[in-house]
Amino acid sequence: MMKPYIQLTDLHQAATDAFCDLANQCIASNGLFRVSLSGGSTPKRLYEMIAQRDLDWTRIHWFWGDERNVPSDSPDSNFKMVREAILDKRKVPQANIHNVPVNVDDPASAALAYERTLREHFSDQPMPAWDLVLLGMGDDAHTASLFPRTKAIDESSRWFVENWVEKFDAFRYTLTAPAINSGKEIWFLVAGDSKKTALANVFSENQRPNEYPSQLIRPTRWFVTQDACPDSLVR
Ligand SMILES: O=C(O)[C@H](O)[C@@H](O)[C@H](O)[C@H](O)COP(=O)(O)O
């Protein structure tokens, strides 16, 4: 994997500025901006900062790159996190909010329903043509809900699937790697020294995507804090 351009700056400020610039460019040229959101604590601060900016909220469509198999009012829900960080603070049309129709008792049907939503929204495309995919990375090198040694890693035709994650003894929902890599812009947001080893593994010449699922992704930008970045990658 090519060594990325790593922004060892204030991650949230840099990512907020980049998000707003990209959103404004896409809205100016295409009339809308379609973003797939990540869960987790690192992106949450980004969303809170984006909510403070002056954007055309009627032109942004919000999708979820992954979700937990919990009700939408659960503290673990990625939808709830985004709703509180952005959607409740700005006048976002309900029609622009495309959250996963979680069905705790039947995650397979819920994943298929969401895939149908995505295929309808990107009906003229072979894969979802995101303007932006935002991704975090776990200290086990997972991204979205593509966890090491899980079935979703090998999925190549579906766009969005349920994924059994042994360590949680629970299902997750996730975009598949091809449905992430179809994004025009794909950004990783990685913060904290707990991610340093995972990043070193992801960027090693040793390609082991089943162990390091983030290796499946072809990102266009990395936003990484100083303490998360392996010395081998610092420019
Ligand atoms: O639903 C989720 O939890 C996320 O989509 C997940 O992939 C997250 O991005 C990583 O676990 C990193 O999370 P942090 O940024 O909180 O470390």
Q: Is 194 in the pocket of ligand 1 (CB under 6 A)?
A: no
At residue 5, does pLDDT exceed 90? no
At residue 39, does pLDDT exceed 70? yes
pLDDT of 231 reads 84
**CA of residue 28 to ligand 1 center, whole Å:** 31
Nearest CA to ligand 1 atom 9: 136
Q: Which of 12, 37, 38, 167 gets mutated to test ligand 1 (max ligand atoms within 8 A of its CB)?
A: 38
- Indicate left, alpha or beta for 169 from its phi (over 0: left) and psi (-120 to 50: alpha): left
- pLDDT tens-digit profile of 175-225? 999 999 999 999 999 999 999 999 999 999 999 999 999 999 999 999 999
Nearest CA to ligand 1 atom 4: 39
**CA of residue 8 to ligand 1 center, whole Å:** 19
pLDDT of 165 reads 98
Q: Does 146 or 7 have the greater pLDDT score?
A: 146
Candidates 31, 34, 37; CA nearest to 174 is 37
pLDDT band at residue 11 using 50, 70 and 90 as cut-offs = very high
Say what the ipTM of the complex is: 0.96
Domain 26-225: which CATH number of 1.20.1090.10, 3.40.50.1360, 3.40.50.880, 3.20.20.70: 3.40.50.1360
pLDDT of 3 reads 61
**CA of residue 84 to ligand 1 center, whole Å:** 17
Nearest CA to ligand 1 atom 15: 42
pLDDT of 235 reads 61
pTM (predicted TM-score): 0.96
pLDDT of 6 reads 74
pLDDT band at residue 117 using 50, 70 and 90 as cut-offs = very high
Report the mean per-residue pLDDT for the chain.
Answer: 95
Q: Which residues contact 101 (CB under 8 A, 6 or more apart)?
A: 110, 113, 114, 117
Backbone angles phi, psi at 180, to 5 degrees: -90, -45
